[in-house]
Amino acid sequence: MRISTSQIFRQGVDAMLQNQRELSRTELQIASGKRILSPSDDPSASARVLDLQESQQRLTQYQRNADVAIAKLNQEETALSAIGDTLQRVRELTVQGANDVLGVDERRAIAVEVRQHIENFMQLANSQDANGEFLFSGFKSKTQPFTHDGVGGFTYHGDDGQRLLKIGDSREVAIGDPGSVFMDFAAAGGGLTNIGEVMYDLATNLEAGNGYPQALTDIDAALSSLLSTRSKVGARMNAVDDQRAANEAFDLAAAEVRSTLEDLDYAEAISRFNQQLTALQASQQSFIKIQDLSLFNFLR
């Protein structure tokens, strides 16, 4: 079998190029810390890594949603707490105003404070978040939920919807309550009333020099409704915290699996790098020796 000089050169060059490619790939792996540089390196593992990346991206979005949910619920809890404090003060004024020793002027003075609490309630019930959305409008987040006609008529302009936010693959949480929680509870005198009307009727009676002790029953009903709503808000906040912890655990598990699939074993890679470097150097030295093995060198 005849072996030409060009064939020997070509084989030598091919061997060096192959060794250089392998060495270069190992260098890239060490530099990036990744075992898989392209899908062709390990198609099965690459597909699994893509699935895990997608899962982690979803979990990241869920965590952002959870942060938004906590912020919204904190705002709602703050508003509900302030309205509860307002009602507690109005309840104290109701008891004070029902005292028979008070005169007309004293009751009118109490009425002035009650009127201030009506304004305070309206401001809190029309609270907005940082995006300018109303907390208690249901789905009509851009519509001011409550108006007062000045003569005792309080109107709710929102709806009964509750906006939901997805915080897990199979979990959604309500991030608010409609303003109907302040409306339509049983009145002591029969029928339905709302927080604004109770305070307005109280102020009107006090201004007329009369006590209005039946307002206590209505205020207690309103406070009970608020307490129930705040309990639900607290339960949602606990649910969000639990889901956030679960999301963190899922993300950590996914990251660990990804690491086993794509991260580089540095000890093995450095050992392989040294072997490949030695092989490249050997092929270069061999080529230098072989290129001098020409018939013309012996004919000189």
Q: What is the pLDDT of residue 49?
A: 80
Which tokens is 62 given? 């869920």
- pTM of the entire predicted model: 0.76
Q: What is the pLDDT of residue 297?
A: 56
Q: What is the pLDDT of residue 248?
A: 94
Residues 63 and 244: beta-carbon distance below 8 Å: yes
Q: Which of 223, 104, 83, 236 is nearest to 173 (CA)?
A: 236
Determine the Cα–Cα distance for residues 273 and 279; give it in Å rounded to an integer.
Answer: 10
Determine the Cα–Cα distance for residues 263 and 36; give it in Å rounded to an integer.
Answer: 8
Q: What is the pLDDT of residue 184?
A: 87
Output the tens digit of pLDDT for each of the chain's 300 residues.
455 556 656 665 666 667 667 666 776 767 777 776 667 667 887 788 888 889 999 999 999 999 999 999 999 999 999 999 999 999 999 999 988 888 899 999 999 999 999 999 999 999 999 889 999 999 999 999 999 998 999 999 999 999 999 999 989 999 999 999 999 888 888 889 999 999 999 999 999 988 888 899 999 999 999 999 999 999 999 999 999 999 999 999 998 888 777 766 667 767 766 776 676 666 666 666 665 655 555 545
**Rg (Cα) of the chain, in Å, rounded?**
38
Q: What is the amino acid identity at position 107?
A: R
Q: Which of 202, 254, 270 is nearest to 60 (CA)?
A: 254
Task: Look up the CATH number of domain 73-244.
Answer: 1.20.1330.10
Determine the Cα–Cα distance for residues 190 and 243; give it in Å rounded to an integer.
Answer: 44
Q: What is the pLDDT of residue 201?
A: 93
Locate the domains of the chain by residue range: 5-33+264-298, 73-244
